[in-house]
Amino acid sequence: MREDALKDAALVDAARDGSEDAFRELVERHKDRVASVVIRMLGNTADAEDVGQETFIRFYRGLRGFRGQASVGTYLTRIAVNLAISELRKRRRRSIIVPLAVPGRDRNEPEADYADPRASAEYDDTADRIQQALQELKPEFRSVIVLRLMEGYSTKETAEILGIPVGTVLSRLRRSQEKLKRLLLYSNRELVHETV
């Protein structure tokens, strides 16, 4: 962990001095984290790729101002999640219903190149339902679920990334889980736990 941070710091310094290779390596090291956040927030759409690229472009432009108070990963997550929330609000304003693109299901979207290790119909079905349920949440609620439950950030880190108090994260988590519970557990008998 510490080694990663030191490597990132060295790469940031080199990128600041104009090294294109250093910046390329930073993108390579952190693209999966950014992808995970933006695709979960936006669905696997062209918008997600655009927001992913924009995240790194903004990071590059802000390199001089980056003081390393947060790790590069957390800093990029913050940019990515804020851009994704902004994109979701724009979508809502435009009243465009962006279809949920599940890899290989949407003919308008190129198929993502990640392989599903549990490539079974049952797993795909559950993943689709979870992704669809996530899309039902408002951006500010979706972001806490993505960061806290899916990306594994602590409640405090989630609050820092989103720039909101811990209490707000907790209340949003609760409301989001109540909604997800209604959407996933009560509307779908197959997903209900045996003990329930």
Partner 1 sequence: MKRSELDLLYRSLDTSLTPGERSRLDAALLRDQGLREEYERLMHLRGLVEGQESPAFQAGFTDRVMERLATESAAGPVSNSTAEATHDFQTALSLMFRRMAVAASIAAMLLLTYNLATTGNVSFTASFGLTEELYPEDLYDARIALETEGAL
Tell me, rounded to whole angstroms, the distance of Cα 107 from its chain centroid: 23
Instruction: Give the one residue of 40, 141, 143, 161 binding partner 1; rule: CB under 8 A.
Output: 40
Q: Count the Cβ atoms, other than its own, within 10 Å of residue 6.
A: 10
Sites for partner 1 among residues 124-143 (CB under 8 A): 126-127, 130
Q: What is the number of helices (H) and of strands (E) in the chain?
A: 8, 0
Our finding on whether 117 is near partner 1 (CB under 8 A) is yes
Sites for partner 1 among residues 139-168 (CB under 8 A): 145, 148-150, 152, 155, 166
Name the DSSP letter for residue 181: I
Tokens of 142: 């979706």
**Residue 67-96 contact track with partner 1, rule CB under 8 A, x = bound:** ------------------------------
Q: Are 165 and 144 in contact (CB under 8 A)?
A: no
CA 161/CA 176 separation, integer angstroms: 18
Listed residue (34, 42, 130) closest to 86, CA to CA:
42
Sites for partner 1 among residues 6-35 (CB under 8 A): 20, 23-24, 27-28, 31-32, 35
2/64 with CB nearer partner 1: 64
CA 79/CA 149 separation, integer angstroms: 19
What are the residues binding partner 1 (CB under 8 A)?
Answer: 20, 23-24, 27-28, 31-32, 35-36, 39-40, 44, 48-49, 52-53, 56-57, 60-61, 103, 110, 112-114, 116-118, 126-127, 130, 145, 148-150, 152, 155, 166, 169-170, 173-174, 177, 180-181, 184-185, 191-193, 195-196
